Amino acid sequence: MSAEQLYPVPQDFACNALIDDEQYQQMYQASIDDPEGFWAGQATRLSWMRPFRKVKRTSFDDHNVDINWFVDGHLNVSANCLDRHLAERGDQVAIIWEADEPGESRSITYRELHRDVCRFADVLKRQGVAQGDVVTIYMPMIPEAAVAMLACTRIGAVHSVVFAGFSPEALAGRILDCKSNLVITADEGRRGGRSIPLKVNVDEALTNPEIKSVERVIVVRRTGADIRWHEHRDRDYTVLMEQADDFCPPDPMDSEAPLFILYTSGSTGKPKGIMHTTAGYLLYAALTHQYVFDYQPGEVYWCTADIGWVTGHSYTLYGPLANGATTVMFEGIPNYPDVTRLAQIIDKHKVSILYTAPTAIRSMMALGKAAVEGADGSSLRLLGSVGEPINPEAWHWYYETVGQSRCPIVDTWWQTETGGILITPLPGATALKPGSATRPFFGVQPALVDNLGNVLEGATEGNLVLLDSWPGQSRSIWGDHERFVETYFKTFKGTYFTGDGARRDEDGYYWITGRVDDVLNVSGHRMGTAEVESALVAHRHVAEAAVVGVPHDLKGQGIYVYVTLIEGVEPSEQLRQELRQWVRREIGPIATPDCIQWAPGLPKTRSGKIMRRILRKIAVGEYEGLGDISTLAEPGVVEDLINEHRAMM
Ligand code: PRX
């Protein structure tokens, strides 16, 4: 191990940590040697309404992918996150809400949250929502979003949260796919001092004539903006809550009852509805939240992720609440009203644990130490990172400037599909290496395979797969189990394929190198190249488009687009701007192309497959070493693209 890049567990951190290295080794081994015993032991951290009969019945066989945990058990997620805490910590704060504008915040105790969730669950029932119905939640980061999610779980409805930054078109596609009959939204959202017209977006999405399922839209008044009201369809959250009962019993749900759907991008086709189920997901979120963040009772914990992403589900909401933690929910963004916002919130609420994304870290780092100017920061004990590889420069800045060289950083690798963190340091156990997600969590068996699926041993690099199931794993793609099997279990048979590449060093530490498929990671947001391409070709002037990722200082990856216009349309700066706006409108601002290059033709194989390898190189100005281009249908297009790229730079 090269000493200069190794950060041992700080002595005073180790003294009070939940798990030290010896315990990690021993518990990890136990979880692999006897998964049934290990997970049966861990399952006692949940409250069950009926005991399960079998811990694990899982198969990764691509003819029969079938994943079941805690078979035949009954439990309720909201009861685990709320009811069981009431006796001991009913008056403890469950959610600290910090608004977009500094100076506005709210603290909600477990008792208050329980009452609101009961009331809203009653509202949902009165609106005709039944077990198994899908409820779409398109909301800003306000406590009512948490209430809505938990209320769904209370009555066994399946929530599908759609990130409030997605466009009406993207929202419509998701509603259509899961056939929601109810949408919960707000009049407007607030982010970075700006209003986001959520209700307008919902109205627009619902003009899609293919959507026939939606009967109700429940609207929370966040800003009081003047909005259009459809009497037959729209209902006011506050009015409904006033009419509801204070108590609604939690429904006993099967361990494998669907809990939520979350749409995420893949390398092909439209976003897929990743489905998670009840018991395994909750247990895994709770266990990882406690051990990865070394969460100790009474501490204030803050994950900055929006509830529109899986990180917001598992680590803003479900994990922390299942553990009876105090969790911060922040409506805004790190640089509003200025770059000190995160540091100010940390001081204001005495945050002990901060979990954020490299893109936020890099945007603060760009201004040197300004992000912590005037801040104290002494409440912090631990830092976390998620969503994309953290470059060592950002790691060091985070460690030194935010963590004051005192707080360990947990670089947590996982995915929407994995439900919770899979590869991560445990802060009291693991010596850190900047940029490495280090070692597997309990029960997780990563492996690296070559392109033929051969498992590679020792220090090496390859495709990252998982050899066996863990409780938090997604069970299926909503309505399309075939696609689930095809996407994750067919590439390397008998294993779950993550789509990521990784390196394992001589200490057995994992270093995630990024996606090996056609998925981009822009500011920690996953986006399929195919998705952006299909948005582009929907424009009347575009004949063809190819999208590749390029390195980007702040976003990690930027979106580089090659566009072939239809015959007779002239390229222009105006058209370029129009296409950028078009993609924003089709998908959302996060998908805005960083660069659009006109391409009279695209490099394709004779069978018509676009050779992205070549496009990726040209986009970064690497004109040499394009590899074998003799198999191209028209090798001449490469030279044209290089010339065009040169002219743009
Ligand atoms: O490529 C990996 C990257 O993000 C992908 C998962 O994206 P998503 O499903 O949106 O979930 C993001 C939050 C869990 C992974 O396939 N990724 C996530 N965390 C890390 C990471 N890459 C490197 N290091 C990480 N810590």
pLDDT digits 0-9 by tens, 63-93: 999 999 999 999 999 999 999 999 999 999 9
Q: What pLDDT, on the 0 to 100 scale, is given for residue 505?
A: 97
Structure tokens at 402: 């935010």
Q: How many Å lie between the centroid of ligand 1 and the Cα of residue 366?
A: 22
pLDDT-based confidence at residue 216 (cuts at 50, 70, 90) = very high
Q: What are 581's two structure tokens?
A: 């706006």
pLDDT at 1: 46
pLDDT mean over 541-568 = 96
Nearest to 81, CA basis, from 405, 378, 317: 317
**Which residue out of 309, 521, 529 has the highest number of ligand 1 atoms within 8 Å of its CB and is therefore the one to mutate?**
521
**CB-facing half-sphere around the CA of 581: CA atoms within 13 A:** 6
Can you tell me which residue has the tokens 């809550």?
A: 241
Asked if the model's pLDDT at residue 3 lies above 50, the reply is no
- The structure tokens listed for 199 are 């209700």
3-state secondary structure of 530: helix
**How many Cα neighbours within 13 Å face the side chain of 52?**
26
Q: How far apart are CA 570 and CA 567, in angstroms?
A: 9
Task: Show binding-site residues for CoA.
Answer: 191-194, 311, 335, 523, 584
- Distance between CA atoms of residues 339 and 148, nearest Å: 31
> 346-351: long-range contacts (C-beta < 8 A, 24 or more apart)?
346/302, 346/375, 346/377, 346/379, 346/380, 347/375, 347/376, 347/377, 347/379, 348/98, 348/105, 349/96, 349/98, 349/105, 349/300, 349/302, 350/300, 350/379, 351/300, 351/301, 351/302, 351/379, 351/380
Nearest atom, ligand 1, residue 526 CA: 10
Of 359, 391, 414, the residue with max ligand 1 atoms within 8 A of its CB, to mutate for a pocket test, comes to 414
Ligand 1 centroid distance, CA of 624 (Å): 31
Residue 160 — pLDDT band, cuts 50, 70, 90?
very high
The Å distance, Cα 24 to ligand 1 centre, comes to 23
Which atom of ligand 1 has the smallest separation from the CA of 309?
10
Per-residue pLDDT at 331 exceeds 70? yes
What pLDDT is attached to residue 269? 82
Q: Where are the extended beta strands (E) located within 442-509?
A: 446-449, 455-456, 460-466, 476-477, 496-504
Q: Residue holding tokens 């590449």?
A: 501
pLDDT surpasses 90 at 371: yes
Distance 503 CA to ligand 1 centre (A): 15
Cα 203 to middle of ligand 1, angstroms: 32
Query: Could you tell me the distance, in angstroms and rounded to a whole number, from the CA of residue 448 to the centre of ligand 1?
Result: 17
Q: How far is the CA of 641 from the CAs of 341, 493, 545, 598, 628, in angstroms? A: 43, 38, 13, 8, 16
Question: Which pLDDT band holds residue 649 (cuts at 50, 70, 90)?
Answer: confident
Query: Which residues define the annotated binding site?
Result: 191-194, 311, 335, 387-389, 411-416, 500, 515, 523, 526, 537, 539, 542, 584
Question: Ligand 1: which of 311, 361, 413, 416 to mutate, judged by most atoms within 8 Å of the beta carbon?
Answer: 413
Q: Which residues contact 6 (CB under 8 A, 6 or more apart)?
A: 431, 432, 433
Q: How far is the CA of 547 from the CAs of 280, 445, 519, 594, 647, in angstroms?
A: 37, 33, 10, 11, 19
Percent of the chain with pLDDT over 90: 94
Tell me which residue has its CA closest to atom 22 in ligand 1. 388
Among 512, 513, 515, 518, the mutation site with the greatest number of ligand 1 atoms within 8 A of its Cβ is 512
* Atom number, ligand 1, closest to the C-alpha of residue 423: 26
The rounded distance, in Å, linking the Cα atoms of 350 and 204 is: 41
Share of the chain above pLDDT 70, in %: 99
Residue with CA nearest ligand 1 atom 18: 387
Residues in the chain: 649
Ligand 1 centroid to Cα of residue 511, in Å, is 12
| Strands, E assignment, 516-593 | 519-522, 525-528, 542-552, 556-565
Which residue lies with its CA nearest to atom 14 of ligand 1? 415
**Residue 219: how many CB atoms within 10 A of its CB?**
22
ipTM of the complex in this document: 0.99
How large is the average pLDDT for residues 616-635? Answer: 88
Q: How much is the CA Rg of the chain, to the nearest whole Å? A: 24
Q: Going along 51-193, which residue ranges are E strands?
A: 54-59, 66-71, 74-75, 93-98, 105-109, 134-138, 158-161, 182-186, 189-191
- Nearest-CA residue for atom 12 of ligand 1: 387
Q: Which two tokens stand for residue 13?
A: 């951190």
Decide: 317 and 282 in contact? Cβ < 8 Å: no
CB 534 within 8 A of CB 271: no
pLDDT at 2: 47
* Distance from the alpha carbon of residue 472 to the mean position of ligand 1, in angstroms: 15
| The amino acid at 489 | F
Q: What string of DSSP letters covers 197-253? A: -HHHHHHHHTT-TT-----EEEEE-SS-------TTTEEEHHHHHHHS-S--PPPPE
Residues 6+ apart with CB under 8 A from 231: none
Query: Residues within the annotated binding site for ATP?
Result: 387-389, 411-416, 500, 515, 526
d(Cα 562, Cα 641) in Å, to the nearest integer? Answer: 9
Smallest Cα–Cα separation from 395: which of 428, 356, 430, 422?
Answer: 356
Q: Residue 318 Cα, ligand 1 centroid: separation in angstroms?
A: 19
* 388 C-alpha to ligand 1 centroid (Å): 5
CA of 576 to the centre of ligand 1 (A): 31
Alpha-carbon gap, residue 43 to 30, rounded angstroms: 15
- Tokens 């498929």 identify what position? 517
Range with lowest mean pLDDT among 132-141, 293-302, 525-534, 629-638: 629-638
Confidence check: pLDDT of 4 > 60: no
145-177 in b/e burial notation, b at 16+ Cβ within 10 A?
bbbbbbbbbbbbbbbbbbbbbbbbbbbbbbbbb
Index of the ligand 1 atom closest to the CA of residue 412: 26
pLDDT score of 522 more than 50: yes
Q: Contact 382/406 with Cβ under 8 angstroms?
A: no
* Region of residue 298 (left: phi > 0; alpha: psi -120 to 50; beta: else): left
The residues, any chain, with a CB within 8 Å of residue 273's CB and separated by 6 or more, are: 160, 174, 177, 178, 261, 262, 263, 477, 478, 479, 480
Predicted local confidence at residue 123, as pLDDT:
98
Which residues have C-beta atoms less than 6 Å from ligand 1? 264, 310-311, 386-389, 411-416, 437, 498-500, 512, 514-515, 521, 526
Question: Tokens 């390898």 appear where?
Answer: 613
Confidence of residue 644 (pLDDT cuts 50, 70, 90): very high
Question: Where are the extended beta strands (E) located within 251-406?
Answer: 253-254, 258-264, 272-277, 300-303, 326-330, 353-356, 382-386
Separation CA 79–CA 92 (nearest Å): 16
Give the pLDDT of residue 268. Answer: 81
A 10 A CB-CB count for 642 gives 16
Given a contact cutoff of 8 angstroms between Cβ atoms, the answer to whether 549 and 128 are in contact is no
Ligand 1 atom 25, closest CA: 413
State how far Cα 580 lies from the chain centre: 25
Confidence label for 627 from pLDDT (cuts 50, 70 and 90) = confident
Is the per-residue pLDDT at 483 higher than 50?
Answer: yes
Q: Per the omega criterion (within 30 degrees of 0), is the bond before 425 cis?
A: no
The number of beta carbons lying within 10 Å of the beta carbon of residue 230 is 10
The confidence score (pLDDT) of residue 267 equals 83
Q: What is the 3-state secondary structure (H, E, C) of 112-139?
A: HHHHHHHHHHHHHHHCCCCCCCEEEEEC
